[in-house]
Amino acid sequence: MADTIEKVSIVISKGSLDGVYPGLIMANGARAEGIEANLFFTFFGLDVVHKARHEHIKIATVGNPGLHFATMLGGLPGVSTVMTHYMNTKMEKLDIPPIPEFIEMIADTGAGIYACKASVDLFALEKNDLIDQVQDIITVGEFYTLAAGGEIIFT
């Protein structure tokens, strides 16, 4: 019988709808299975936990092969907004919550929510720029310590 996973630490580095939801779904699933979960938001993933931006995450339409249309089309004004609305409508029908609500739900289950110190410094942010669910701003070394003994997933 295979060993069971007891802890996952998920790195979210993208600030797009399609870059964020996989990590949130995996963290939520881990907590539902009794697995310890930590989310580490870095680089553009910080938008997901940024107070002014977390409610405005859009789908990446330029250069996204999963959309199956030309990059030029994805760059037209309004395409990202329309595709984001379309995806949000589909996810709502499947009872997948919007990002702010999803993060709150995951945090309420006891998952750790952390921001990357290097990225916070890079974008000249402070703890008060981030949503309340962010427990701390930590270094990569602190993240590795937190993740020790578990699986690290990069989305």
Q: Which CATH class is domain 7-154?
A: alpha beta
The rounded distance, in Å, linking the Cα atoms of 125 and 45 is: 13
CB atoms inside a 10 Å sphere around CB 74: 17
Read off φ and ψ for residue 41, nearest 5 degrees: -95, 125
Q: What is the pTM of this model?
A: 0.90
Please, what is the average pLDDT of the chain? 93
The rounded distance, in Å, linking the Cα atoms of 2 and 5 is: 9
Closest CA to 14 of 56, 57, 51: 57
* pLDDT surpassing 90 at residue 68: no
Domain ranges within the chain, ordered by starting residue? 7-154
List the Cα angle 149/20/60 in 5-degree steps: 145
